[in-house]
Amino acid sequence: MRFEFLELPGETSALLRPVVPVQVEDLEDAPQLCLVDTGATANRFGMWLAEATGIDLSGAPESSLVVGGVTTTARHTRVDLTVAGVRYDAPVTFCDPWPFAFNLLGQEGFLRFFRLTVCAAESWLELEAEG
């Protein structure tokens, strides 16, 4: 499935980014705009998503991370994500604070599940689920 590059929400420049809409658990009404970050080791989402979807983070491992220049408390768990029509069980880190209007898709939890073709020259990316 092909996705055109987009501006991040609120960005005033005309810079286009590789982003993919992701459904978290059964939150069909509000797909999440996620930046594909090949340098990220894992998926990083805002903590509000865990609260909105009723994900129980009690007992979840916790650590401190710096993401995009922000020091944040991260809780690690597994959730169902739906990307490009494929629903799968993925490791996700929920972070608080999370001031960004986008979430991050990284290696564990995204790139291990999809074969990614990026054409920045034409501003698109394609995803194919790994067999």
- 121 touches other proteins by CB under 8 A: no
Of residues 51-80, those binding other proteins (CB under 8 A): 51-52, 67-70
Interface map 79-118 toward other proteins (x if CB under 8 A): --------------------xxxx----------------
Rounded CA-CA distance 37/100 in Å is 14
Query: Measured from the CB of residue 120, what is the shortest distance to other proteins in angstroms?
Result: 14
Non-local (6+) Cβ contacts of 59 within 8 A are none
Q: Which is nearer to other proteins, 56 or 66 (CB)?
A: 66
Locus of tokens 């590789």: 18
Q: Which of 1, 26, 41, 48 binds other proteins (CB under 8 A)?
A: 48
Q: Which of 3, 21, 60, 65 binds other proteins (CB under 8 A)?
A: 21
Which range of residues in 29-37, 55-63, 81-89, 109-117 is near other proteins by CB under 8 A?
29-37
CB atoms within 10 A of CB 66: 8
Q: Are strands 62-67 and 2-4 parallel, antiparallel or unpaired?
A: unpaired
Q: Which is nearer to other proteins, 7 or 130 (CB)?
A: 7
Among the residues of the chain, which ranges form H helices?
47-52
Rounded CA-CA distance 12/101 in Å is 14
